[in-house]
Chain A
Amino acid sequence: MHVFPFVVVAWIILVGLYGIVTSRHLVHLIVCLAVVQSATYVLLLGVGYVSRGAAPYFSDIALHSRAVDPVVQALTLTDVVVEAAVSALLLAIAVQTHKRFGTLDPDELKELQG
C-alpha cells in the first residue's frame, strides 16, 4: 500500500471541492477551502516520510538515527500559517458581505448582483 496516503490526499481535495461547489453558506465555503488546503499537509508529510523513521528532533534520540525529512515539515508549518491568514481574511470579507447584503448564501448573492 505504498500509494495509500496519496490516495487519501486526492480524497481530501475532492471532498473539499465538493463542499465548495455545493456550498450554501460562505462560512461553510471557507471551512471547505481549509479542508482542500489540509490535503497539502498530508501530501507534504507523506512525501517526506521515511519507513520507521523518528521525528527530526535529536534531543532524546541518537544523533545519526533514522529520521523523517524535516524540510517538508517546515514547509507544512508555512502552509498552516498561510491557511490561518487566508481564513482570517476571507472570514472578515464574509462579515462585511453579510452586513452589506444581509445574506451569506452564494446563490442569493449572485441574484443580488443581477
Chain B
Amino acid sequence: MTPGLRRWTFLVAGGGLGALLVWGFVGLPGFGHYPGPYGDLLNSVAVGQRHATDVVTAINFDYRGFDTLGEEFILFTAATGVSIVLRELRRERERTAVDEAAGREAPATSDAVRMACLVLVGPTMLVGWNVVSHGQVNPGGGFQGGAIMATAFVLVYLSGEFIALKRLSPVHLTDAVEAIGAGSFAALGVAALALGFPYLDNILPLGTSAGTVDSSGTIALISFFVGIEVTAAFVLIVGELLEQTLLVRGDR
C-alpha cells in the first residue's frame, strides 16, 4: 500500500471512527454532571473510615488495593521484560564501534550541566521521598514519588557519570529492592488473611487523627513499598536502555 493510499484510507476510516466516538460521547452525562454514586460515597466516608485526607490514595491502596497490586505487577513485569528483551546477545560485545556521525566528535558534558545535575540530585530525592511519605495526606503516593526518586538517578547519568550510576544502582541490588517492594505489598495482604481479615484489609492502627504522616494504617505502608518498587523498576528500565547506547557505541 502506498503512503498516499494509506493516508486516504485512514481519513475515511478515521472520519467514521470520529463520528462514532462523538455520537457515543453525546450520550454521556454532560461535562460537570457526574452522576455518582461511588465517587461521592467515597469522598464522604474515606476520611472518617481510613484517616486519609487524600481519597485517591485511599482508593488506590485500600478500597481498590487488589487492583493496584495487579497494576504494580504490570510495572514489575515490564521491567523484567525490558531486561529480557535487552539481554546481552552473543557476539554483541565483539561488534566494533560504529560512529553514527563520522567526522563529528561527540561533545563532552559541559561543567555547567554536570554541576546543575549533581546539585539537583539531593533535592529531587527529597521531593520524591516527601511525595511518597505524604501520599495519604496530600496529592501523591508511591507511584508518583517513585518516579521522582528514579529521576534523581537519571540526573546522575545526565551529569555524565554513567559509571557512577551503575555503581550507585548495581543490577542485583536494584532487582532485589524491586522484588522486596512488590513482594511486601502482596505479603501485607497475606498478613491480613492470616489474622482472619479479608485480603489487603487495613489491619494497622489508623492513627489518632486524619491528615498526619502516621495516620491511615496500611495505606501509608503500601505507599512506601510501592515507592521503592517503582523507583527500582524505573532505575532498572532506564539503566537497561542506557546500557544499550554503550553497547552500540562500543568502548568509547
A interface residues (Cβ-Cβ under 8 A, vs B)? 1-7, 9-11, 13-14, 17-18, 21-22, 46-53, 55-59, 63-64, 67-74, 77-78, 80-82, 84-86, 88-89, 91-93, 95-96, 99, 107
Which segment of B23-31, B101-109, B163-171 sits at the interface? B23-31
Asked if A17 and B10 make an inter-chain contact with CB atoms under 8 angstroms apart, the answer reads: yes
Chain A residues with Cβ below 8 Å from B137 are 59
Known: A10-B25, A51-B33, A68-B39. 13 other contacts (CB 8 A): A17-B10, A22-B10, A47-B34, A56-B54, A59-B54, A74-B56, A77-B60, A77-B144, A84-B78, A84-B147, A88-B237, A99-B89, A99-B248
Asked if A3 and B138 make an inter-chain contact with CB atoms under 8 angstroms apart, the answer reads: no
Chain A residues with Cβ below 8 Å from B192 are none
Asked if A57 and B139 make an inter-chain contact with CB atoms under 8 angstroms apart, the answer reads: yes
Interface residues contributed by chain B, number (CB under 8 Å): 63
Chain B residues with Cβ below 8 Å from A81 are 71, 74-75, 143
Asked if B241 and A91 make an inter-chain contact with CB atoms under 8 angstroms apart, the answer reads: yes
Report if B3 contacts A (CB, 8 A). Answer: yes
Chain A residues with Cβ below 8 Å from B241 are 88, 91-92, 95
The 9 closest A-B pairs by CB, nearest first: A69-B39, A2-B30, A85-B78, A6-B25, A51-B32, A59-B53, A10-B21, A70-B55, A56-B55
Known: A47-B34, A74-B59. A67 touches B86 (CB 8 A): no
Report if B126 contacts A (CB, 8 A). Answer: no
Q: Looking at B3, B78, B241, which has the most chain A CB atoms within 10 Å of its CB?
A: B78
Chain B residues with Cβ below 8 Å from A4 are 31
Shortest CB-to-CB span from A48 to chain B, Å, is 5
Asked if B25 and A7 make an inter-chain contact with CB atoms under 8 angstroms apart, the answer reads: yes
Report if B205 contacts A (CB, 8 A). Answer: no
Docked complex Cα distance between A48 and B33 (Å): 8
Which segment of B40-48, B110-118, B154-162, B172-180 sits at the interface? B40-48
Residue of B81, B210, B248 touching A89 (CB-CB under 8 A): B81
Docked complex Cα distance between A52 and B34 (Å): 12
